[in-house]
Structure 1
Amino acid sequence: MHPHPSAPDPDEDTELADTHPPPPVHYAEQALLGALLLEPARLDGLGPLAPEHFGDPAHSALYTAMHTSSVPVAEQHRRAPVWLDRVLKAARPQAPGLTASYLHTLVHRCPWPGHAAAYARMIQADHARRMLREHAERLAQAATDASLPDPAATVLAQCDTLSSFLDTLSGRFAPHPGSLPRTPQPPSARRSAGEEALEEERALLACATAQPSRLRRMRWLQPDDFALPLHGQLFACLTALVRRREPIDAVTVLWEAQHQHLLHADFTPADLIGLLATPVGTPEHWGEQILRRALLAQAHTTALQIRAFTDDAANTPHQLATGSRRVLADLTALSTRWQRATHAPAAPSRSPAVPRAGPRLRATPAPPTTRVSR
């Protein structure tokens, strides 16, 4: 095991050394603390380094103790280990396993006290990586926690928090060439296409066919938002007809779908006519449901991508910030469309309107290509 304050002999190796080697930042923390034990006057030249930046709790306790203990004058420090005794006494309440032997180990682990500021920057960089991973984990949790009363609002709030953290990260660490991470991206998670999601998408297509004028006010919804690609392609057919100001009904949509090569043995003209036959509710309601699912799915994908960056220790803070901003852009764009959808005024309707909250869907037979086995 690597040297640790709670070990009886910090220099003794155990069988765990091969399976749990200490990360590079562990040696940076040891080197910095050793430098400060040797030359306590260097405490004032470490910039914004804070105790919580240390990964090892005992090291954090030592650094806190150094800031709360009076620094001896240089001559006194050379003659007696007064500084070491003060630091050890101040740190022990938070780290009872600390020993005088480990403090001497830290002194020996410091290659050069004059490099203390460089060691401090290494510790700050690793802390930034850990914090970015925590933000990604919170975003993933918000996107997948079914118990949240309003997961979309939680995702938006966490997205803003993550963006603010990236601003701070960019300002704290200098840019350098090679700013994009070379970390391979994890495979894209497949969108969940449960029966409820598919029913909502079918409802949107039927309602949009029956009330096509509403699509002009629904530019916040895009074909890629649909869980089933076929439904997204049919939605693109509808928006194309609206854009060209052509008549819209089930037959004209069928004709457009034929031109887009969407019909085949498993999705026949009769299947499409049946899908569009029974509109229930309003396009806006079903569109919001589809967009909400897309928002949560994109948030989860973004979190996984950022987490992959943080898992790669080769990435510098600047690379982490740049790569994370790039993958966050898609989520930010989708968030903007969600805000536009949910803050837009409801469209007037001449018919005895079904409320935008939407009715409960009845179970209807699904076309062969969209049926999901339970």
Structure 2
Amino acid sequence: MPQPTDPYEDDLDDLPPAQPVHYAEQSLLGALLLEPERLADIGDLDASQFGNHAHGALFQAMLTVPPPDPETHRSDPAWLNTVLDAARPHAPGLTASYLHTLIQVCPWPRHAPTYARMIRADHARRTLLMHAERLAQTSTDTTLPNPAASTLAQADTLGQFLDTLAGQFAPHPGSLPRTSVPGTPAGHSSEEALDEERLLLATATAHPAELKNMRWLQPDDFTLPLHATVWQCLTALVHNGKPVDPVTVLWEAQHRGLLTDGLDPSDLIALVSAPVGSPEYWGERVLQRALLARAFDVGSRIAAYAHDPANTPHQLITGSRRALADLTALRTRWQHTTATAPPTAVRAPRSPAVTRAGPAPRTAVPAARALR
């Protein structure tokens, strides 16, 4: 039988150990309680940058209450009581004994500017983590009406935050973060993504002339290596001016070694023999999915950096900027592809058989289901 729970017992012994920034916050507050005049030396620090809510409330009270005369403060605790009274409405758990504890644990009050820098650095790390996680979440939010635009807007917000950090922390030589980053999640290779790639390959085989204007789509944008190689077969045939149909694609695939791994030629022919809609429509779908997958990977990588407290602000800025750069090339291709033509431009009419108006119906490709 399970042992009864003692209502007077608590789980405080099971709490995780305090992080280093907790001691930095205590030391800074102790220094300011002991020598309030050092508030002028700690630079631009905000109460919201404290990880502990009570510490932030106490710091805000110090900013609100007029500072005491240094000589009077050495012998009169009136200012301490005033600060405590101002902070308690926002942090009822604060006590006079805790204020004295803060004073006792402060090693050196003259190190207050250094403690403040530690607090700013940890707040920067936590805020970067929030932006990175938001980028990853936005890229996988299926309820958004325009997921690509929302994701890129979040990437811009993250980039702007990095620019702000760069202005707050002086650059210095240092290595990139050594944090291990998560691998690409398998969730991006969904059945829907594979269906869209199959429909693109089949439709491109039926309308190869349109591939000349689709250089914005690259093999790396495909989730399945087989599909990427078949796309290379198609673009090579078009580039060389050769006829394109399921049989010629099969012949090109043979020269690229696709049939040496047990792939049945009939399955490959079936893969490129059921066109629906237009190549550009499905190409944009594939490119958007690649963009969102890349944004998810970038957000996850930056989040891994920010989760690791061993990284300095400089390492976080450098590593995060390099991660965002991996999104730039794909982003440029996406924006070039989806850019709205000027009002004066007249686009050539499209064949009704390959219209891009609205999503084309999803058509199963039974014979190609095994090509996964």
User: Under a length normalisation based on structure 2, what TM-score does the superposition of the two structures give?
Assistant: 0.91
Match of 2:367 in 1: 366
Moved more, 244-253 or 120-129: 244-253
Moved more, 97-106 or 239-248: 239-248
Match of 2:40 in 1: 44
Does the 8 A contact of 2:205 with 2:273 survive in 1?
no
Shift of 1:67: 0.6
Moved more, 351-360 or 179-188: 351-360
1:3-152 to 2 correspondence within 5 Å? Answer: 16-17=12-13, 19-152=15-148
Pair 99,342 (structure 1): closer, same or farther in 2 beyond 3 Å: same
Moved more, 219-228 or 51-60: 219-228
Does the 8 A contact of 1:51 with 1:64 survive in 2?
yes
Pair 194,78 (structure 1): closer, same or farther in 2 beyond 3 Å: closer
Large movers: runs of 4+ above 6 Å: none
Match of 1:298 in 2: 294
Distance 1:352 1:146 in 2: 30
Unmatched tracts of structure 2, length 5 or more: 1-9
Distance 1:182 1:144 in 2: 27
Shift of 1:365: 1.3
Q: 2:174 aligns with which of 153, 172, 178?
A: 178
Q: What is the aligned-residue identity percentage? A: 61
Match of 1:204 in 2: 200
Match of 1:5 in 2: none
Does the 8 A contact of 1:193 with 1:227 survive in 2?
yes
Question: Which residue type is aligned with residue 202 of structure 2?
Answer: A
1:325-364 to 2 correspondence within 5 Å? Answer: 325-343=321-339, 345=341, 348-349=348-349, 351-356=351-356, 357-364=358-365
User: Under a length normalisation based on structure 1, what TM-score does the superposition of the two structures give?
Assistant: 0.90
Shift of 1:350: 5.5
Shift of 1:19: 4.6
Does the 8 A contact of 1:34 with 1:109 survive in 2?
yes
How many residues align structurally? 358
Moved more, 25-34 or 358-367: 358-367
Question: Which residue type is aligned with residue 16 of structure 2?
Answer: H
Distance 1:115 1:254 in 2: 72
Does the 8 A contact of 2:217 with 2:287 survive in 1?
yes
1:143-162 to 2 correspondence within 5 Å? Answer: 143-162=139-158
Moved more, 131-140 or 170-179: 170-179
Shift of 1:328: 1.5
Distance 2:37 2:196 in 1: 67
Partner of 1:114: helix, strand, or coil? helix
Unmatched tracts of structure 1, length 5 or more: 1-13
Shift of 1:181: 0.5
Distance 2:367 2:313 in 1: 49
Distance 2:70 2:53 in 1: 29
